[in-house]
Amino acid sequence: MARELSDILKELSKKIPKNSYNPVALPKELLEEQTKKNENDCPICGGVGWLRLDVPVDHPNFGKLWPCKCYSKRKEELLRKELEELSNMSHLRQKTFDNFDPSVHPSAATAFEATKQYAENPHGWIMLCGPCGSGKTHLAAAIVNYSISVRQSNSLFMIVPDLLDYLRETFNPKSDITYDERFLMIREVPLLVLDDLGTENATSWAREKLYQLINHRYNSEMPTVITTNQPPEAIDDRIRSRLSDTRLVMHIVLDAPDYRYQQGKHSPTRKSQRKVYAWP
């Protein structure tokens, strides 16, 4: 019985097209969903993205799939597209340095100058602390918009609770991109904004992920912008200790009156909710 099976496999492997690249292309008929040819198809794998190794049937790698050279390129493109979609900040798109009014408050003027400089040449971390409506999210969004449109650098703006939801969702087995790839994409993005840190109602899993993300970017000193309206005590101890490192993190406290109220788009935040906490 076993021998018959190996004969069948040998016969099958003879039918698989070979080429100069060591791994051979998979037979098209085995990959129905990807048979649609177009002229951009890779000459090595025919656009399938995967190859199987040209080894005898008794070889341990027989039948194993290997990603083609074109595969990682395609993955990169997928991830870049995903990054763009994720960074689709909708209403935050219009928030730029040009439409921020630094004259509302001296702290807004200081924050404006610092974030503008940072956007031009992002190094280290910036932490924008201040109550709702003080303009910190506007400035954080302006940094990302500047980075994307002027510096043309991959940048990601994420509201922390949304980020954690997103990571949880990526455990979907039908997804084209795995959880690890997504996590890596966010971890390695050249500029990351984490908006509203401390408001997340995180499970221990999510807390751990957030810590891993922040800790990695801290250790690699990757440009990161964090906004919060929370006092230091409200932040996870391990994250707080990284955020308190003044060698890497520039702390900017915004104490401006409710910026959105000024623009007539928002009801004023009650005084009691507008406490300003000192960081670090």
Nearer to Zn ion, 52 or 209 (CB): 52
Nearer to Zn ion, 41 or 101 (CB): 41
Is residue 127 near Zn ion by the rule CB under 5 A? Answer: no
Nearer to Zn ion, 44 or 83 (CB): 44
Nearer to Zn ion, 20 or 90 (CB): 20
Nearest CA among 255, 258, 276 for reference residue 268:
258
Nearest CA among 259, 253, 258 for reference residue 127:
253
Virtual CA dihedral for 44, 50, 53, 57, nearest 10 degrees? -130
- DSSP type of residue 97: S
CB of 70 to Zn ion, least distance (A): 3
Residues 6+ apart with CB under 8 A from 182: 82, 166, 167, 170
CB of 56 to Zn ion, least distance (A): 23
Residues in the chain: 280
Nearer to Zn ion, 32 or 58 (CB): 32
Is residue 70 near Zn ion by the rule CB under 5 A? Answer: yes
Half-sphere exposure of 273 (CA within 13 A, CB side): 8
Residues numbered 28-67 forming contacts with Zn ion, rule: CB under 5 A: 42, 44-45
270: alpha, beta or left? (left if phi > 0; alpha if psi -120 to 50) = beta
CB of 69 to Zn ion, least distance (A): 6
**Site residue total, Zn ion (CB under 5 A):** 5
The two tokens of residue 36 are 């649609």
Phi, psi of 37 (to 5 degrees): -80, 145
Nearer to Zn ion, 53 or 109 (CB): 53
CB 132 within 8 A of CB 257: no
Residues numbered 219-258 forming contacts with Zn ion, rule: CB under 5 A: none
Nearer to Zn ion, 51 or 235 (CB): 51
Is residue 68 near Zn ion by the rule CB under 5 A? Answer: yes
CB of 66 to Zn ion, least distance (A): 10
CB of 32 to Zn ion, least distance (A): 18
CB of 40 to Zn ion, least distance (A): 11
CB of 50 to Zn ion, least distance (A): 8
Is residue 142 near Zn ion by the rule CB under 5 A? Answer: no
Residue 161-200 contact track with Zn ion, rule CB under 5 A, x = bound: ----------------------------------------
DSSP 16-73: S---SSSEEEPPGGG-GGG----TT--TTTTT--EEEE---TTSTTTT-EEE-HHHHH
Residue type at 171 in one-letter notation:
F
Residues that bind Zn ion (CB under 5 A): 42, 44-45, 68, 70
